[in-house]
Structure 1
């Protein structure tokens, strides 16, 4: 075989691998978007069809539906990043069913804390004590959201850890890796803005790529607890207390 023939063969192989990678990435993104919409449809209907300032109690009740959907999406990203798996539908629903109970608990706790803190902010808004209380309430609200985010990313890789320990570790990691946490929060804010202003673009195209960035930041933070996102059972990893 001549050198030129071998070169053409390698070029075709590289082109095929590149094509498969690009196709798989696009498919994972589009499929994850559709699956997220399906898993959170009641919440999205209320959010997009009503005035949130009026329907916020219903939104607070439905907000926990986001939690198992995020866990499932993170599981899809993990499988694709680790093994190149493009079985998005199977991976998503398998993770959803397996971790729904814990994820819903995290989502419900977070929703309750956010509602209480938001009501507290409204209650002291304009009052003399508000200047001192509002920054405290806002900080606690941000910490609650960040703790939940890290806990949801950790749920698939720390399935046997008690919920209390998982939340405590997630709070520790969210504070310790504050730069990653702030970036993830900013990306989530951007995603929420896109979904509210342009639902078709946000839900159809932007959700998976932006959540992938959020998942990447959480995965880096979790490496101090679980190396390379592996399960503790595989590496004898213990959650710090």
Structure 2
């Protein structure tokens, strides 16, 4: 009976953390979510690029909730999210703005090269740079969630290096993100209400494993 009670308690805690994480993610990304539901995607991408950086502190907050729950089964979701949102707000927005700006430049360059001879050479390179930018941006948000005071220059250097070095973890995280984006497009209520937290947990776990060498201090010799 004791085992059964502990199991049920753990299940309810996990469901509570997941549902609250979904709610806080929506609230943290509310401007972008509202734009996605009220505008035409093909024509409104400049608006999305402007609004996306505002979501960065909220994503950091959700990652911090997942980290706290994974390490100590903490269910203090609101307190953890609020503390991380305040601690990372400015740096996370700057980080998101930088990532968004790079992606816009790469997208404009790719649009210009499309249909030209030079595109045969430049488009694969631009695509690779775009993937690396997304991967670096994702790892940076995970880093800021745990190290809010880290210098963005150091974060960019370390995350870009580890995204390439541990490409298999990066690839899995990007595939899960692509699945989440597809779900948001096709079934937004299901994606944001139920699927976001489990999928983002997979992304966070992969990213945390990728960043372990940078975030976890090396053991000191006795």
Query: TM-score, structure 2 length as denominator?
Result: 0.96
Are 2:127 and 1:123 equivalent residues in the alignment?
Answer: no
CA shift at 1:75, angstroms?
0.2
Q: 1:122-177: CA deviations, max 9, x gaps?
A: 10101111111100111101101100111110113333332101110010110111
Structure 2 counterparts to residues 126-137 of structure 1, below 5 A: 126-137=115-126
Question: 2:23 — aligned with what?
Answer: 34
**Aligned-partner Cα distance in 2 for 1:188–1:66:** 15
Q: Note the C-alpha offset of 1:235.
A: 7.3
Deviations 1:94-123 (A, max 9, x none): 111111111111100000000110011110
Structure 2, unpaired ranges of 5+:
none
Q: Is the 8 A contact 1:48 1:196 kept in 2?
A: no
Structure 1 residue 181 and structure 2 residue 163: aligned? no
Candidates 152, 162, 165, aligned match of 2:154: 165
C-alpha RMSD over aligned residues? 1.4
Q: For the residues of structure 2 that align with 1:136 and 1:107, how far apart are their CA atoms?
A: 22
Where 1:53 maps in the other structure, the secondary structure is coil
Aligned residue pair count: 220
| Conserved 8 A contact 1:147-1:171 | yes
Q: For structure 1, which runs of at least 5 residues remain unmatched after alignment?
A: 1-11, 237-241
Pair 1:133–1:33, CA change in 2 (3 A): same
1:200 maps to 189
Length-normalised TM-score, structure 1 = 0.88
